[in-house]
A = this chain, B = another copy of it.
Amino acid sequence: MPDTPEKSLFEAPPMAEQERMVEAILFATADPVPLSGLIDRMPHGCDPAEALALLRRRYEGRGVRLVKVGDAWTFRTAPDLGFLMQKETIETRKLSRAAIETLAIVAYHQPVTRAEIEEIRGVSVSRGTVDQLIELEWIRLGRRKMTPGRPVTFVVTQTFLDHFGLESARDLPGLKELRAAGLLDSRPPPGAAPLAGEEPDEEDADQSDMFGD
Contacts and interface: CB of A to CB of B under 8 A. Distances in A.
Contacts of A128: 182
Interface stretch (A1-9, A24-32, A96-104, A186-194): A24-32
User: Is the interface on chain A under 10, 10 to 19, 20 to 34, or 35 or more residues?
Assistant: 35 or more
Interface in A10-60: 19-25, 27-29, 41-42
Contact of A141 (B22, B24, B25, B172): B172
Q: What is the total number of copies of this protein in its complex?
A: 2
A169 B150 CA distance: 14
A159 to B, nearest CB: 10
A41 B82 CA distance: 11
A136 interface: no
A24 B173 contact: no
A172 B171 CA distance: 25
A20 B78 CA distance: 9
Going nearest first, the 7 A-B pairs with the smallest beta carbon separation are A127-B182, A23-B63, A24-B63, A20-B63, A24-B77, A140-B165, A24-B81
11 contacts: A21-B81, A21-B84, A24-B77, A25-B63, A25-B84, A27-B64, A27-B77, A28-B77, A114-B181, A143-B168, A151-B177
Given A21-B84, A29-B87, 13 more contacts: A20-B61, A20-B81, A22-B63, A24-B81, A27-B75, A41-B87, A128-B182, A131-B181, A140-B166, A141-B166, A142-B171, A143-B171, A144-B170
